[in-house]
Structure 1
Amino acid sequence: TYFDELQDVYLLQTRDAKNPVIYTIFTTTSSVFKGSAVCMYSMADVRRTFLGPFAHKEGPSHKWVAYQGRVPYPRPGTCPSRIFGGFESTRAFPDEVVSFVKSHPLMLHPVRPAAQRPLLLQTDVGYRFTQIVVDRVEADDGHYDVMFIATDVGTVLKVVSVPRQTWQDLEEVLLEEIQVFKEPEPILSMEISSKLQYLYIGSSGGLTQLALHRCGVYGEACAECCLARDPYCAWDGASCTRYFPSSRRRSRRQDVRNGDPLTQCSDQYYSLAGDAESMEEQLVYGVENSSLLLECLPKSQQAHVSWLLGKLSGQSAKNEVTLDDRVAKTAHGLLFRGTLRGDTGSYLCRASEHGFAQTLRRFRLEVIDAAQLEELLQKEDEAMSRARIAQATEGAGPSPPPPPPSLPGAAPQGQLWYRDFMQLINHPTLGGVDDFCEQVWHRERRHHRGRQGKGRHHGGFGHAKWKHLQDGKKGRSRRTHEPERSPRSV
């Protein structure tokens, strides 16, 4: 498979105006194998190839060999100018030059990427690259090229090229993947302003701008800022903020090349055990045989996420979770395809990178018996049916029944939420829930009848006062609807 379709070209200007760095996007033309590649070229290599020999098919096998014949003047590939023959346009070239170009469209030597390989290669990811712009950023340990790559689903990838051993051996670090447009639509154009520090992105549906740096998304710790390896950002002693090369603050910490937090943040103590114990445990309920996701997203795109499990109550998570067809680790967290009672326990989400480990999330999973939950829901339906029958018998009309009683700590307006189900399931007097509901509903009906009786039998000053309030209420109603009156006739 070849990446033989050129999508976009970006020229990154350098101090030598005649030798910019060329960034290109290639895609496959195959409808089966979809992929995209980003390559970097040197203008000197391109110039050297076009000044070399032309390719020519010769012999019975029609192999491509170097053309040894005469090359017409001006040489094909030379820009028209007054210096080379006095031509102002290629339209003025002699017919001999045009015929030679038609019969020799290829050069013998290819132009190879600067790193002898693509900088970035993506296959079978559900999207293709469409546009690219590059910004050369000055960091504490050198200059880095940050690539902003647009896709046909409305996302932008922020990638930095980092040298491994030498500046010729580059490693691509994905810093961010940003969803620019709500609807997935191809990004058709993209421009960058290094002066304003903004990226301008256009599609068929609109135009938007995006800041080149968003240092706050990397976290609130020195290690997280260092692990991000973003040349735009550095730790200033209190937060991850924009890095300025001219800043005189010596406390700014940045390590784009290695991303080593143990060296840059050595004065801060990080411990996995202490970090886990101090983190608040989130209680999560799951129903037996249903799907469940324990969400955990690391700040760094390069972090390795692992899950630890402790089965006993109060036991810290120590054993690594066994992954299989039912329990899978995804990019968004730990996915259960059908929970079991044995999945109950404490779960710890841990991220590790460059020898540094930290706790991201801590969960306490409680799996509920499906039969027990079904029984509870059935009891609630029966109670609601009895309430409707009682209201119909007493002539209360088709008004909806009062809401069921809520447990302490339940949501407002008497709504019975999921946590209330859990408390009812574990309640020692589960059988008396219906009786308790009936008592509350009868108490509310007696209170409602009592208020109606007082309104009918009380007279005198209280009755007059009530009548006065009703008149005032009607007056306000008339003023509210006064604009709806028809205009008077003249």
Structure 2
Amino acid sequence: PLSTGTAHHFSFLLNTSDYRILRMDEDHDRMYVGSKDYILSLDLHDINREPLIIHWPVSPQRKTECVLSGKDTNGECGNFIRLIEPWNRTHLYVCGTGAYNPVCTYVNRGRKPMEYVFHLEPGKEDSGKGKCPYDPKLNSVSALINGELYAGVYIDFMGTDSAIFRTLGKNAVMRTDQYNSRWLNDPSFVHVHLIPDSNEKNDDKLYFFFREKSSGMGQSPKSQSRIGRICLNDDGGHCCLVNKWSTFLKARLICSVPGADGIETHFDELRDVYIQPTQDTKNPVIYGVFSVSGSVFKGSAVCVYSMADIRMVFNGPFAHKEGPNYQWVAYTGKIPYPRPGTCPGGTFTPNMKSTKDYPDEVINFMRNHPTMYNAVYPVHRRPLVVRTNVDYEFTTITVDQVTAADGNYEVLFLGTDRGSVQKVIVLPRDDLQTEELVLEEVEVFQVRSQQLYVASPVGVTHLALHRCDVYGEACADCCLARDPYCAWDGNSCSRYSASQKRRSRRQDVKYGNPIRQCRGYNSNTNKNTPETVQYGVEGSSTFLECQARSPHAAIKWHLHRDNSDRRREVRTHNYIYCICKWYRFGIILFRHTGCQ
């Protein structure tokens, strides 16, 4: 293991790569990692311990067949693990690409954490078609719910047939309409999540997040971000859409910055999604990371969506093509009953136990109108975080809820395509304005019990969520950091805990004002960060430097001439060092706010 501060990187001494799939197992206190030809089981309490390892390569014959088909340009003829799902209390269900012949099996993980059981179940392999992609470069998503596997995946050797599939379980295999670009148009799947719609279980819907080629609705970019959904109890149609989803709908996700001229700058490629739970399981908060698809400029953004806005769009008008130019318009005709997209046996259809009971006109309408006309806009109709004119893009996101002395905060951990993680907090201001603070950026490659795990092609890295000691040894330094994880405890900058005594609540995330929090601190003096006085000789020079303990600290030098009561600030032109010429008997006063 390679350790840098509080980042501990692990690239196991295996002939493997592509550590892409992470799956937490809180019951066993393990984390499962999928890579090329290997499945790993790591101890969450001490990731340094020797991992449990399963070697699951393809047979030499299968690899030879894959190479002869011309698919091993970059080593793709291996078994890239792309699916790890908990099957029951003792087993996992895992799938790999199988050298362009997807395969699945069961892994025995034991009943108790201390058993250290981790092995493949012999004779249990089955086909991975419809569960795992053939090509390791193609994204897939999956969810195992009540013994049924739902997956967004490409299901053919050539990577041309994309589908949302349901396999396993007792119900019939289901999929989206094949080669129908109105349903899926060369998609790249990003995330899948079950979100209840009401207290009635029959209303439960599975939401898929993906991006796809534009379908030409208006002046659209080449790529569009989508949120799609299906009912879990969808059985398909009776005559039409047999064994195909009869409740599939999709809508466009907008993440854009309105310009002064009314033209929006779109971040149109969805890269990652994080679902932040709330006390109301029906209304989680949805965070999305987006990038720009064109080559005009490089940029990325984070947008936040509410389920109320999403449901309003799915309850709104359907998109319809008509007119001489075959343009997209809102459908104004009669909507059949039950409303397309409604789940059988739910709140609005208590007497219909299956989608096979739906009238043919409902099924036909669904097949031809899978897209909603209105788009889903983010909260406040603008991104939460924007990055443009930088040499990186955001690629992944995880959000942690933190209780601080002055309120509850969401801390964003944003992975970038240059191998770093930014720790960001966005604070509300008046008039719907916000203030974004980058608390720190760590060069590494999601989150559980104060630990951040990051996967990359070359390994797995473990980070601590808070590093309070880096903010210095003064109350003002700690306060100016504005990190909700950290507070001044009277002696040092340490992990904030709401259960500790009042003295540990020297923390001001919202304003970062040490005057209010640190006793004895004011704009001129601070016992925790004393003023430094240095003497010099006329004609000489000296090097004064200060290391800021917080990215929000201000650094100042003041010149105090002899026989004068005034101090003049020495301008440093944004550098953190200054070379000053000394005056005869002059005194350079070095004062800083939150630095040493």
TM range (shorter): 0.5 to 0.7
Report what 2:517 is aligned to: 264
1:36 aligns with 2:300: yes
Aligned CA distance change for structure 1 residues 53 and 308 (closer, same or farther; 3 Å)? same
Q: Is the 8 A contact 2:534 2:589 kept in 1?
A: no
Tell me how far 1:158 sits from its aligned partner.
0.7
Report what 1:212 is aligned to: 465
Distance 1:205 1:95 in 2: 52
Distance 1:255 1:344 in 2: 39
Give me the TM-score of the superposition, normalised by structure 1: 0.56
Q: Is the 8 A contact 1:223 1:265 kept in 2?
A: yes
Report what 2:508 is aligned to: 255
1:192 aligns with 2:447: yes
Report what 1:165 is aligned to: 430
Q: Is the 8 A contact 1:309 1:321 kept in 2?
A: no
Tell me how far 1:242 sits from its aligned partner.
1.0
Aligned CA distance change for structure 1 residues 277 and 219 (closer, same or farther; 3 Å)? closer
Report Cα offsets for 1:54-99 as digits up to 9, x if no partner.
133444576654211234566444467786854479xx99986676
Report what 1:278 is aligned to: 532
Distance 1:160 1:227 in 2: 14
Report what 1:68 is aligned to: 332
Distance 2:561 2:287 in 1: 53
Distance 2:344 2:420 in 1: 41
Distance 2:266 2:435 in 1: 22
SS in 1 for 2:378: coil
Aligned residue identity for 2:513? D
Report Cα offsets for 1:84-118 as digits up to 9, x if no partner.
854479xx999866764564453232212113211
Residue 114 of structure 1, aligned match among 379, 384, 388: 379
Tell me how far 1:335 sits from its aligned partner.
9.0
Q: Is the 8 A contact 1:115 1:170 kept in 2?
A: no
Distance 1:50 1:347 in 2: 66
Report what 1:127 is aligned to: 392
Distance 1:244 1:293 in 2: 40
Aligned CA distance change for structure 1 residues 257 and 59 (closer, same or farther; 3 Å)? same
Query: Bigger radius of gyration, 1 or 2?
Result: 1
1:225 aligns with 2:459: no
Aligned residue identity for 1:216? D
Aligned CA distance change for structure 1 residues 141 and 321 (closer, same or farther; 3 Å)? closer
Q: Is the 8 A contact 1:296 1:349 kept in 2?
A: no
Aligned CA distance change for structure 1 residues 70 and 220 (closer, same or farther; 3 Å)? same
Aligned CA distance change for structure 1 residues 281 and 146 (closer, same or farther; 3 Å)? farther
Aligned residue identity for 1:48? M
Give me the TM-score of the superposition, normalised by structure 2: 0.47
Distance 1:321 1:221 in 2: 25
Report Cα offsets for 1:124-164 as digits up to 9, x if no partner.
21111111011111112221111111111111111112221
Q: Is the 8 A contact 1:49 1:109 kept in 2?
A: yes
Tell me how far 1:51 sits from its aligned partner.
1.0
Q: State the identity as a percent.
A: 49
Aligned CA distance change for structure 1 residues 208 and 162 (closer, same or farther; 3 Å)? same
Report what 1:137 is aligned to: 402
Q: Is the 8 A contact 1:192 1:198 kept in 2?
A: yes
Q: Which runs of 5+ in 1 are unaligned?
A: 181-186, 324-328, 337-341, 352-356, 362-490
Distance 2:418 2:578 in 1: 26
Distance 1:335 1:87 in 2: 76
Aligned length: 321
Report Cα offsets for 1:322-375 as digits up to 9, x if no partner.
75xxxxx35xx3599xxxxx9789988765xxxxx35x46xxxxxxxxxxxxxx
Distance 2:274 2:345 in 1: 25
- What pairs up with 1:280-429 in 2 under 5 angstroms? 296-306=546-556, 318-321=568-571, 323=573, 329=574, 333-334=576-577, 357=593, 360=595
Report what 2:224 is aligned to: none
Moved more, 130-139 or 258-267: 258-267
Report Cα offsets for 1:452-484 as digits up to 9, x if no partner.
xxxxxxxxxxxxxxxxxxxxxxxxxxxxxxxxx
Aligned residue identity for 2:550? S
Cα RMSD between the aligned structures? 4.1
Aligned CA distance change for structure 1 residues 76 and 302 (closer, same or farther; 3 Å)? farther
Distance 1:18 1:133 in 2: 20
Report Cα offsets for 1:155-191 as digits up to 9, x if no partner.
111111222137x5432221111112xxxxxx5xxx1
Aligned CA distance change for structure 1 residues 39 and 106 (closer, same or farther; 3 Å)? same
Aligned residue identity for 2:381? Q
